[in-house]
Each structure stands twice: as structure tokens, then as C-alpha cells.
Amino acid sequence: MQLVKLREQYLSSIDDHEREIVRDKIQEASEDMAAEQGLLHLYRGSEGFDLDHLSEEELRPWKAYKTALGELTPIVEVLPVWLETIGNKKTRSDYRRAVEVLAQRFTTLEELDRRKAKQFLEWAKRENKITNPTLRKWMSGYKNLWEYTNKDISVWRDQKLSADPSRAKKRPFTTSQVLEMYRILSERNDVTVSWLKHAVWIAAHTGARESAIAKLWYNAEEKTIWFPKAKKEETDRIIPAHPAIWSNLGPWENGYRKSALSISNRFTTFKQGLGYDSSQDFHSFRRTFLTMCENAAIPEGVAADIAGHKKQTISYGLYSGGNDIAGMREALERIDYKSKGQKI
């Protein structure tokens, strides 16, 4: 606590003489800390010491001294201030988790070089079961933080990640599973979870991601849905609304709409309660929908326009202006979860 107060006093001082006095006090306080730990011999009377050969405990007095002088940047101190600069809520949540894990291994930003960053990434993957896609997102956060604090961003640039261990292949839900989940959610009286039925049913009939469902616009008069572009999509898209979700789209827009993060988190809790494992998640509704399209003999180009997938062929992918609403509506009406003829 004494060093914290001295740090504030030192950094706010504008007079050189006053700063020198405070610096001496900081020196004394850090030596007192070293003496209490029986480590004073490491800091007094030596020409210097090798930081790489001292333990975390042995480095504490030195870090306290450097931090008090503003020469080291405590991770836990800069985290809340930096997070305020991150506008997207989901990104902010991801970055918070990334830096909190980093703080489990390091106290200050200056401790990391490329070698230690590499070791940390492998440790995070192993101990926290973090996959490469998540680590790459975390590295974007670390680069942002280093840039924000004027540190050398090359610490994180072009870090090579070892291959992920084999993971369970992601699977679609079956039609019976989709129907069962929608039934259970429809029977829930708890408003904190019952809203999820709308997101689930919309996803099952459009193949839309959480981010698209969270921001959709529904034209009740024309029975069409506007989705914002996402991922690698180049433009927004408008698709017809399946008749089965007309009664869900109105309430979703007018009171039940939730953020993409809320949809994802609530659905994860819900599906785990039903016994589903990591091979099936909210994105599985997209897989289910596209499988339904294939089984209903819907042309791949039409299904791609509805789901927002890039078309693979040059003719349709590069030159086509897309299917019209009438064509997509006719195709969508072939999707019927309650029909015994539809199987996955």
C-alpha cells in the first residue's frame, strides 16, 4: 500500500527535487520488502543481477520498485482502463478473459519478450484448453493492449501456434432435437430463458448466426427479414420469412431481442442442461438448416443465398445477382420440421 501511494506521488510530481525525494523513499520501501523476505543481499552491494535466473518471489521487490517509478506497467492496473477503449461488447469480453489469463503468469507487460510470449501461448492452450482460433483472437487483444501502452507489438506478431489436438467434429441437431428444444423452451414460464425459443426457432428456419439474429429487421408487411453482413459476406441480405417463424419475429423485434453474446451464453447453459456436449452448439442450427435444404432438394445456390454463404462456382459466385425473394420463398416452404419426411 505504501508503494502504491508513493507511485502516485512520484508520477504526479513536476518538481525534480520532489521526485528525487520520493524516489529515495521508494528505494527504501522496496529494500524493506526485500529485507522482510530475506532477499536484501540480491539488491544491495551488487553491480546487478540476472532477472532470468531469479524466481517470481525473488523478483517481487525489484518489480515493486520499478512499478512505483512508472517503469513497469502492472497488467491488472491497465486492464480496466484499456477495456474502456474496446467498443464491441463481445470483443471486450474476449479480451478481458485473454488478459486475465495472461495476468496469471505475468505481473507487468514489460516481463514479456517473444520467447516468453510463445511459452505463454503454449501454456494457455495446454492448461486452459484454449484452441488456436481463440488464441489468435486473444493475440489480437494483446497486440491492441501493447499498442495502447506504447509497447513493442512485435512480441506477439507472427507467433506460430502448434496444431490443435483432435476435437469432436461439430454436428447438426436432428429435427427431433430441434423440436424438443423448442417445445421445452415454449413451456418455460421463466422469462429469463423463455425468450430463447425465438432465437432457436429463427435459427432453425434461416440458418442465421447469433450475430445476425441479434440485429435482424423484420418487415411484417412483406414477410421478409433483413440480416446484416457477417464473417466473409460482402453485403447485407434480405430473405423471405418462413411462415413457421412469423409469430416469433414480431415478439423478437418488439421486446425479446437479445445480444449475440446473450444468445450464445444462454443457449450454452440450456443445451448443457439437456446433456448436449461440445460437438453441438448454436451454430449447429445452421448445419441443421443447410442439411434440411439438401434433403429437400433445394438448389445449392438458393440455399447459399438464404444462409449467406459464398457460392463456389464462378458463374453464380462471381456474376450472379442472387435469387429473387419469390424463388427463395418457394424453396423455404419445403422446410418443415414437423414433417416425418424430413430427416437428418
Per-residue confidence (pLDDT) for residue 278, from 0 to 100: 85
Do residues 237 and 308 lie in contact, with contact meaning Cβ atoms separated by under 8 Å? yes
pLDDT digits (tens, 9 = 90+) for 180-215: 999 999 998 888 888 999 999 999 999 999 999 999
Do residues 74 and 67 lie in contact, with contact meaning Cβ atoms separated by under 8 Å? yes
58 pLDDT higher than 90: no
Cα–Cα distance, 57 to 34 (Å, whole number): 10
Per-residue confidence (pLDDT) for residue 161, from 0 to 100: 86
Per-residue confidence (pLDDT) for residue 313, from 0 to 100: 46
**Count of alpha carbons within 13 Å of 273, Cβ hemisphere only?**
10
* CATH number of the 175-332 domain: 1.10.443.10
295 pLDDT higher than 70: yes
The SS3 of residue 87 is coil
Cα–Cα distance, 143 to 139 (Å, whole number): 6
pLDDT digits (tens, 9 = 90+) for 118-147: 999 999 888 887 888 899 999 999 999 999
Per-residue confidence (pLDDT) for residue 319, from 0 to 100: 35
Per-residue confidence (pLDDT) for residue 17, from 0 to 100: 77
Q: Which residues of 132-160 are buried (b: 16+ CB within 10 A; e: fewer)?
A: eebbebbbebbbbbbeeeebeeebbeebe
Question: How does the average pLDDT of the chain come out, rounded?
Answer: 82
Per-residue confidence (pLDDT) for residue 71, from 0 to 100: 61
Which range is least confidently modeled, 199-208, 278-287, 308-317?
A: 308-317
- pTM score, two decimals? 0.55
pLDDT digits (tens, 9 = 90+) for 44-55: 655 555 656 667
Q: How far is CA 6 from CA 13, 57, 154, in A?
A: 10, 22, 32
| Diameter over CA atoms, the chain | 86
Do residues 3 and 68 lie in contact, with contact meaning Cβ atoms separated by under 8 Å? yes
Cα–Cα distance, 250 to 238 (Å, whole number): 16
Per-residue confidence (pLDDT) for residue 84, from 0 to 100: 92
Per DSSP, the residues of 249-273 read: HHHIIIII---HHHHHHHHHHHHHH
Per-residue confidence (pLDDT) for residue 343, from 0 to 100: 44
Per-residue confidence (pLDDT) for residue 341, from 0 to 100: 42
End-to-end CA, the chain: 62
Per-residue confidence (pLDDT) for residue 233, from 0 to 100: 64
Percent of the chain scored above 90 by pLDDT? 49
Return the domain boundaries, the chain: 2-68, 75-155, 175-332
